[in-house]
Amino acid sequence: MNLNAVQQYLIDHNLDGWLMADFHGRNEIAVRFLGIDGMLTRRAFYFIPAEGEPTALINPVEATKFDQLVGRKIRYRGYAGLETELSKLLSGQKKIAMEYSAKGRLPYIGLVEAGTIELVRESGVEIVSSADMVAAFQARLSPDQIESHRRAAKLVVETKVEAFARIADAVASGERITEYDVSEFILERFKAKGMITDHPPNCSVDKNAGDGHYQPTEGSCVPIVKGSLVLIDLWARFPDDNGTYADITWIAFAGTRDEIPAEYVEKFEVITKARDAAVSFINDNLSRQPVHGCDADDACREVIEQAGYGELFTHRTGHSIGIDVHGVGPNIDNMETEDNRILQPGHLFSIEPGVYTDTFGLRTEIDCLITEKGAEVTTLPLQSEIIALF
């Protein structure tokens, strides 16, 4: 933890402090940021003031878990002692940040339960969300993590090419190949390249591609045959401390270009335009004003809505990416949540618009890294049309 940087942020944003509250390790943001290991079963607070020494308010049973933290340690006795010490700690403070989300619109940040928020407010302080603080200090990738992501992106794209080639060979020769077989093939290729993933990749065909989180299993999958629409969503990273995910989705058709249904072609063109509109919006505005995740979602969604398919775009435009495939940074979202976190250099996220019907689904997914120069697509090449496998 860079205490000087945190306190400078507080000063720059007119905040009196950042109060991290946890019980049973539920505030994953605080636990990870403070580097606390092991089992946590008692309530704890860690307050970083804009000026002065941080303070930990901890239960004696778990006091040693906080030894590595800078600042003074206050051991409370019982809930009455906790409330008394917390009131003293916050005396004179006016505005503090916590892992709180107004109206629950950003639940990734709203990790402190309502009763604790009420207790803190009784001390007379105004609580604001720590969302942008978390995005600044926990979600921005280090140079080593960025380099790891770039390496992963290259190999994930390579694996996608191998997977579609495997499908084409099997279908052309009459070999039976299923969605599950493709998923297992991708996992084998990841292992051969020294990469890992948190869940198996998604290969889905026709109707199954209309299910955004479809997952084939050995006992529940369908074969890929001539005329099949095939969606592959795959993600992986290297298994070291800096290992950062790459995550892409591509679409192919088990036939010739002329055989691809016109409806597929037309809808896919819409979602690629929407994807590119999101990237352009970020790059056009980033140097002039703060750009929020929700803003980029709006720019993408507008293209699909204007084409008349708004009801078929059923999820957010993208998610944060880090050492977890769904990271702690800003999501590209103004639908499922109102993600008004500011996109900052070092933030990595997907842009993945899609349209989904009862009979098929289409999605295109890229990864974008915010740099000092703008939004960089790290998973090139872009898919501009559905791949014809024959």
Return the C-alpha torsion angle 335, 341, 347, 353, nearest 10. Answer: 10
Q: Which fold has domain 3-137?
A: Creatine Amidinohydrolase; Chain A, domain 1 (3.40.350)
Per-residue pLDDT, averaged over 197-221, amounts to 93
Please classify residue 128 by burial: count the beta carbons closer than 10 Å to its beta carbon, then call 0-12 exposed, 13-18 middle and 19+ buried: middle
Report pLDDT for 37. Answer: 84
Report pLDDT for 150. Answer: 98
The 10s digit of each residue's pLDDT in 96-139 is 999 999 999 999 999 999 999 999 999 999 999 999 999 999 89
Q: What is the pTM of this model?
A: 0.91
Q: Which residue in the block uniquely carries the two structure tokens 């206050």?
A: 74
Q: Does the structure show a pLDDT above 80 at 1?
A: no
Report pLDDT for 39. Answer: 81
| Strand pairing category for 246-253 and 387-388 | parallel
| Strand pairing category for 72-75 and 55-58 | parallel
Give the N- to C-terminal CA distance of the chain in Å, as an integer.
54
Mean pLDDT estimate for the chain: 96
DSSP 211-231: STT---BTTB--B--TT-EEE
14: left (phi over 0), alpha (psi -120 to 50) or beta: left
Region(s) of the chain under CATH 3.40.350.10: 3-137
Contact predicate 178/216, CB 8 Å: yes
Contact predicate 109/100, CB 8 Å: yes
322 vs 38 pLDDT, higher one: 322
Q: Does the structure show a pLDDT above 80 at 157?
A: yes
Report pLDDT for 213. Answer: 82
Per-residue pLDDT, averaged over 292-321, amounts to 97
Q: Does the structure show a pLDDT above 90 at 38?
A: no
Please state, in angstroms and as integers, the Cα–Cα distance from residue 285 to each residue in 20, 290, 370, 373, following that order.
Answer: 33, 8, 12, 12
> Residue 147 corresponds to which tokens in the numbers above?
């380099």
List b or e across 299-309, with b for residues whose CB sees 16 or more CB atoms inside 10 angstroms. bbbebbeebeb
| The architecture CATH gives domain 143-388 | Alpha-Beta Complex (3.90)
> Residue 234 corresponds to which tokens in the numbers above?
């795959």
- The amino acid sitting at 351 is I
**Whether residue 381 has a cis bond before it, omega within 30° of 0:** yes
Q: Does the structure show a pLDDT above 90 at 2?
A: no
d(CA 52, CA 49): 6
d(CA 148, CA 141): 10
DSSP 45: E
The 10s digit of each residue's pLDDT in 214-249 is 899 999 999 999 999 999 999 999 999 999 999 999
The 10s digit of each residue's pLDDT in 46-96 is 999 999 999 999 999 999 999 999 999 999 999 999 999 999 999 999 999
Report pLDDT for 90. Answer: 96
d(CA 195, CA 216): 21
Return the C-alpha torsion angle 217, 222, 225, 230, nearest 10. Answer: -60
- β-bridge mates for residue 250, sequence order: 232
Per-residue pLDDT, averaged over 9-34, amounts to 94
Region(s) of the chain under CATH 3.90.230.10: 143-388
The 10s digit of each residue's pLDDT in 325-373 is 999 899 999 999 999 999 999 999 999 999 999 999 999 999 999 999 9
Contact predicate 203/231, CB 8 Å: yes
Report pLDDT for 121. Answer: 96
